[in-house]
Amino acid sequence: MEEQVASWLKAQRVPAPALPVVADIVEITDAFCAEHLDAEYAGLCRALAVKLARKHPSPLLRGDRRIWAAGIVHTIGWVNFLADPAQTPHLKMERLAELLGVKQTTMGNKGALIRDLFGIGRFHEEFIRADMIEKNLMSWLVEVDGLIMDARSLPVPVQHELARVGIIPYVPEQEQR
C-alpha cells in the first residue's frame, strides 16, 4: 500500500481490517480518474470508498476489488451525469466499463447496490461535483413565509446564514464549496 494513501486512509478513520482493501480500491480509482477523468472525480471516489469502508460490516471486505472500484466510479459518474456529452469530462458507461476492465452489467449492478445502500440519487450533495451544484436547482430552493424561493436571490447576509446552517452548499458570491 502506497504510504501517502495509507496515511490518508488512517486520517479518514478507515477501520484497520478494511485498510488494505480500501487502499487497493483507491489506487485503482485514483489511477483511473487521473488518466480518464480529473482530480475532483478522484476525490469523490475516495470519499465514497471511505464511506463504504466505514459501513458496518463493510461490504468491501467481500468481492473483487476491481469491481468495487468500478462500482464506485460508476456511482460517482451516475450522480454527476458522466455519460452526458454536454458534461466535461464525459464518458459513456460502456466505455467506462471497458476502460475499467469489467462487464458493464456487473459495474452497473455494483453501482446500484452502492446507491441503494446509502440512498444516493442524482445530484446527491455529498458526491456532486462543484460545477454541477449550480445546475441543481434543488440545492438552492428554500421556503420563506410559505413561498419557495431560489436562495441565490436572497440578500447576501441571509445566504451566509443559510450556508452556515447547511441549508445551501455555499454563498454563490464567494464561489467556494
- Map out the domains of the chain with their CATH numbers: 3-126 (1.10.472.10), 140-174 (no CATH)
Place of cell 476502460: 99
Residue 120 is classified by DSSP as -
Q: In the chain, where do the E strands start and end?
A: 141-144, 147-150
Higher-scoring residue by pLDDT: 72, 136: 72
**What does the pLDDT average to over 41-57?**
96
Whether the predicted pLDDT of 177 surpasses 70: no
C-alpha grid cell for residue 146? 410559505
| 89: preceding bond cis by omega (within 30 degrees) | yes
Instruction: Say yes or no to pLDDT of 167 above 90.
Output: no
Q: Report which of residues 9 and 67 the model is more confident about.
A: 67
Q: What is the pLDDT of residue 174?
A: 59
Share of the chain above pLDDT 70, in %: 97
Alpha-carbon span 147 to 127, nearest angstrom = 28
| pLDDT of 141 | 86
pLDDT digits (tens, 9 = 90+) for 91-106: 999 999 999 999 999 9
What predicted TM-score, i.e. pTM, was given to this entire model?
Answer: 0.81
